[in-house]
Amino acid sequence: MTHARSERAALCDLLDRLGPGEPTLCEGWDTYDLAAHLVLRERRPDALPGIALPAMAGRTASVQRALKAKHPFPQLVDLVRKPGGVYGLLPFLDSAVNTMEYFVHHEDVRRAQPGWAPRELPADFEDLIWKRVSGMAKLMLRRSPVGVVLHRRGGGARSVVLGGAQQGPKVEVSGTASELLLFCFGRQAHSRAEMTGDAEAVERLKGSRLGM
């Protein structure tokens, strides 16, 4: 089983256990909203543009609400469990596009619940995540108000220097590849990555809007 499929299955198992109305780290969304978003993302390409384009966000939100109105929560989770659209037809595309998506959303649900703890991921999964972080960090950190140096722990001495601000103090962010991914996706408050550097720069980075 690919990492994309295993994260998808684990997320769906967790959603089934928790039920609708439980918190997530996605601002304004509970578990029902997140399930509807994932179904929309794979099965309603007509509503996809609003995920990235504010001018079309109203249309996307309307379709997401309609999915919730049409489908009971368990039915939505069942739709998430099986890859839809092109991802069901092309497994390689599912792995390329959905591995990070489902890992982050799995953690969005896990880390919104009391008593959560970081998972110990397989070494090959951490390596894959680091590869994606290295490739996507410039995009994810484009709104950072300070320079950022990413240091991966547990995988050799590697770093990526990025950030929206090329001048001024830089913040060193250290952690496993998975914690760095969550940090760069805008989950700073729930990532176990550690920040060091100028105190004011660290505070600015903590409160900045990161991610895709």
pLDDT tens digit string along 160-200? Answer: 766 555 567 889 999 999 999 999 999 999 999 999 999 99
Task: Sort strands 158-163 and 194-196 into parallel, antiparallel or unpaired.
Answer: unpaired
Per-residue pLDDT, averaged over 85-106, amounts to 91
Q: Which of 83, 110, 137 is the last residue of a domain?
A: 110
What is the C-alpha to C-alpha distance for residues 10 and 103, in angstroms, rounded to an integer?
A: 9
Q: Which residues contact 102 (CB under 8 A, 6 or more apart)?
A: 4, 7, 8, 11
82 plus 17 within the same structural domain: yes
Choice between 91 and 123, residue whose per-residue pLDDT is larger: 123
Q: Which of 110, 134, 162 is the last residue of a domain?
A: 110
pLDDT (0 to 100) of residue 169? 80
DSSP code for 30: B
With 0.75 as the threshold, say if the pTM is over it: yes
